[in-house]
């Protein structure tokens, strides 16, 4: 069960291929902003660099790939059903709220919406469920489920194209077949789902509003979706930061969201998932304003909360999935759950302090770069226990997953590095429901991410991993 592609070529050949590949990226829009100069990184068309990528696709067994794809519609349903149970969300997160200000602010908005019985007739989810293959148990285990700002549907599709193109050119000498890289339509399928939500909303001349960070390196991934929306559906996307929404937005008495004088049909969040996105009260009041409006929110506050680590851990407790899914769905979902524990369990804390290498300590944060491992994990647990109170409630513990490492060539900033690497497979899912009618519930392509095995942290946006695709093996 190998995770990444063993380089079947010498470093000189790999270097030559990496140059070809980097040129392909520029020619096909597989690019990100260049952080070297912050301003140029945020102005479209200025300061671009190829997105970091793996030179060849990661090997992945077809059976696990199918298993991951089959889970997508089930997780889509699960998110929707859990989101309907407002009391479950509030109760499960009640301890987290006391120690985590960010979650507490989100819960506050959610509570306000419960109080007014806010109706969300049109519900749009664009999720990504991330998995690793655990070599110890030979199983596919879920790392997390992203319900807000799932990155790289645009660029991920292009990496699959890049790999197919490289294999066509060099594949005979590498004994690879391009057909074994599965088609990846995440980019068009996410746009399709946004367009469908827009048409269910059914207001002439309304726009889709993408909520973006003021400084965003990953804007071309976002622009790919806007381009498909314009070219294939004739829908305009506007880009606004949370503070711009606060300054330019209003909710009309009938619930219509107007921003800069334009009616908004769908709000698509590519910001708002991390505390840094809310530097002042202005950003929070923008979030509340959008939630109060009738626009379709992707995600709504409840979908956002369902994606928290605490809810992931609550759903893994005995008899909780039973409240939301049918028995055949429960079996599928439970099979991919890793061990998850809250820190009100003395025994598990003791075990983790004794054997920190078998666990990951996760705070309630999105976006990568926040997890705690090894000796740091031990120290943190000991310190939090000493502090007493509810400090431990801000974290969950997860079983550490051990994917098999394989040699790979990773290309970043035009330079090709050889290293032992491990991979994480993300499966995108789109869900759209209008009242009782499920309009879309499907798996929508994938994102493979590969990183050197010595790095604990993952995440391409956070600078640890590179974009990849997959090569199906028997
Ligand atoms: N703002 C950026 C974007 O819109 O692409 C980054 C958003 C982000 O960090 N998203 C997380 C993710 O999917 C989920 S909350 N990260 C994948 C990665 O960086 O590898």
Q: Are residues 255 and 361 in the same domain?
A: no
Average pLDDT rounded to a whole number, residues 97-113: 96
* Radius of gyration (C-alpha) of the chain in whole angstroms: 22
Q: Are residues 239 and 177 in the same domain?
A: yes
Q: Are residues 344 and 309 in the same domain?
A: no
Here the tokens at position 18 are 């990496």
**Does 6 fall in a domain?**
no
Average pLDDT rounded to a whole number, residues 200-210: 96
Ligand 1 closest atom vs CA 462: 19
Q: Are residues 57 and 153 in the same domain?
A: yes
pLDDT band at 368 (very low <50, low <70, confident <90, very high): confident
Structural domain containing residue 392: 339-400
> What amino acid positions are annotated as catalytic residues?
128, 144, 146, 151, 309, 362, 366-367, 449
Q: Are residues 304 and 287 in the same domain?
A: yes
Q: Which of 24-33, 57-66, 216-225, 459-468 has the lowest mean pLDDT?
A: 459-468
**Does 253 fall in a domain?**
yes
Given a cut of 90, whether residue 463 has pLDDT beyond it is no
Given a cut of 60, whether residue 78 has pLDDT beyond it is yes
Q: C-alpha dihedral over 452, 455, 459, 461, to 10 degrees?
A: -90
Using the mean position of ligand 1's atoms as its centre, give its distance from the Cα of residue 204 in Å: 31
pLDDT band at 9 (very low <50, low <70, confident <90, very high): confident
Q: Are residues 232 and 369 in the same domain?
A: no
Q: Are residues 334 and 344 in the same domain?
A: no
On whether the CB atoms of residues 121 and 435 are closer than 8 A, the answer is: yes
**pLDDT confidence of residue 3:** 46
**Does 444 fall in a domain?**
yes
Here the tokens at position 379 are 């120290």
Q: Are residues 344 and 310 in the same domain?
A: no
Domain count, the chain: 2
Query: In CATH, what number is assigned to the domain containing residue 389?
Result: 3.30.1490.50
Given a cut of 70, whether residue 5 has pLDDT beyond it is no
pLDDT band at 1 (very low <50, low <70, confident <90, very high): very low
Backbone φ and ψ for 208, nearest 5 degrees, come out as -100, 130
**Does 209 fall in a domain?**
yes
**pLDDT confidence of residue 460:** 87
Helix (H, G, I), strand (E, B) or coil at 207: strand
In the numeric block, the tokens 């899912």 are attached to 429
Q: Is 270 in the pocket of ligand 1 (CB under 6 A)?
A: yes
**pLDDT confidence of residue 387:** 86
**Does 4 fall in a domain?**
no
Q: Is 146 in the pocket of ligand 1 (CB under 6 A)?
A: yes
The whole-angstrom separation of Cα 44 and Cα 31 is 11
| Beta pairing, strands 262-269 & 296-298 | parallel
Write the DSSP symbol of residue 445.
Answer: E
**pLDDT confidence of residue 38:** 60
Ligand 1 closest atom vs CA 274: 15
Using the mean position of ligand 1's atoms as its centre, give its distance from the Cα of residue 150 in Å: 6
Q: Is 398 in the pocket of ligand 1 (CB under 6 A)?
A: no
**pLDDT confidence of residue 46:** 87
Q: Are residues 350 and 417 in the same domain?
A: no
Which of 377, 400, 423 is where one domain is finished? 400
**pLDDT confidence of residue 366:** 81
**pLDDT confidence of residue 8:** 63
pLDDT band at 37 (very low <50, low <70, confident <90, very high): low
**pLDDT confidence of residue 472:** 98
Q: Are residues 124 and 144 in the same domain?
A: yes
Given a cut of 90, whether residue 283 has pLDDT beyond it is yes
Q: Is 32 in the pocket of ligand 1 (CB under 6 A)?
A: no
Which of 349, 371, 400 is where one domain is finished? 400
* Complex prediction ipTM: 0.99
pLDDT band at 462 (very low <50, low <70, confident <90, very high): confident
Given a cut of 90, whether residue 429 has pLDDT beyond it is yes
pLDDT above 70 coverage of the chain, percent: 97
- Most distant CA pair in the chain, distance: 66
Ligand 1 closest atom vs CA 270: 4
Q: Are residues 379 and 463 in the same domain?
A: no
Given a cut of 60, whether residue 336 has pLDDT beyond it is yes
Here the tokens at position 57 are 């696709």
Given a cut of 90, whether residue 347 has pLDDT beyond it is yes
Q: Are residues 89 and 234 in the same domain?
A: yes
Average pLDDT rounded to a whole number, residues 414-442: 96
Q: Is 283 in the pocket of ligand 1 (CB under 6 A)?
A: no
Ligand 1 closest atom vs CA 221: 5
Mean pLDDT of the chain: 94
**Does 141 fall in a domain?**
yes
Q: Is 221 in the pocket of ligand 1 (CB under 6 A)?
A: yes
């Amino acid at each position: 069960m190998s995770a990444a592609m063993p380089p079947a070529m010498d470093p000189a050949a790999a270097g030559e291929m990496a140059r070809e590949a980097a040129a392909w990226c520029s020619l096909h829009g597989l690019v990100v902003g260049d952080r070297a100069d912050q301003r140029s990184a945020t102005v479209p068309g200025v300061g671009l660099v190829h997105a970091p990528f793996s030179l060849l696709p990661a090997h992945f067994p077809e059976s696990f790939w199918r298993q991951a794809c089959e889970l997508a519609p089930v997780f889509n349903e699960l998110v929707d059903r859990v989101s309907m149970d407002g009391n479950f969300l509030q109760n499960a997160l009640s301890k987290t709220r006391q120690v985590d200000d960010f979650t507490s602010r989100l819960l506050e908005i959610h509570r306000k919406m419960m109080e007014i019985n806010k109706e969300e007739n049109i519900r749009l989810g664009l999720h990504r469920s991330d998995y690793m293959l655990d070599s110890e148990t030979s199983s596919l285990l879920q790392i997390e489920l992203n319900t807000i700002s799932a990155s790289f549907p645009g660029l991920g599709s292009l990496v699959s194209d890049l790999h197919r193109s490289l294999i066509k050119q060099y594949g005979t000498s590498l004994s690879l077949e391009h057909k074994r890289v599965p088609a990846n339509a995440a980019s068009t399928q996410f746009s399709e789902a946004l367009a469908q939500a827009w048409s269910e909303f059914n207001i002439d001349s309304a726009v889709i509003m993408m909520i973006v960070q003021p400084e965003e390196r990953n804007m071309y991934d976002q622009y790919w979706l806007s381009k498909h929306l314009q070219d294939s559906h004739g829908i305009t996307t506007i880009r606004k930061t949370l503070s711009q929404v606060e300054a330019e937005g209003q909710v009309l008495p009938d619930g219509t969201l107007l921003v800069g004088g334009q009616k908004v049909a769908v709000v698509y969040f590519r910001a708002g998932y991390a505390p840094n996105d809310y530097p002042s009260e202005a950003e929070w009041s923008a979030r509340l304003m959008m939630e109060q409006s009738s626009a379709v929110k992707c995600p709504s506050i409840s979908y956002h909360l369902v994606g928290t680590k605490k809810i992931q851990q609550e759903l893994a407790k005995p008899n909780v999935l039973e409240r939301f899914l049918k028995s055949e769905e429960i079996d599928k979902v439970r099979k991919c759950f890793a061990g998850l524990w809250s820190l009100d369990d003395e025994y598990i804390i003791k075990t983790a302090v004794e054997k920190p290498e078998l666990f990951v300590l996760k705070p309630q944060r999105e976006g990568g770069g926040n997890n705690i491992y090894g000796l740091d994990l031990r120290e943190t647990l000991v310190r939090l226990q000493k502090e007493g109170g509810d400090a431990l409630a801000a974290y969950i513990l997860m079983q550490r997953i051990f994917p098999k490492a394989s040699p790979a060539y990773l290309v970043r900033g035009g330079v090709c590095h050889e290293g032992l690497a491990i991979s994480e497979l993300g499966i995108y899912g789109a869900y759209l429901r209008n009242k009782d009618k499920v309009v879309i519930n499907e798996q929508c392509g994938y994102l493979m991410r590969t990183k050197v095995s010595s790095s604990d942290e993952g995440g391409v946006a956070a600078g640890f991993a590179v974009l990849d695709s997959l090569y199906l093996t028997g």
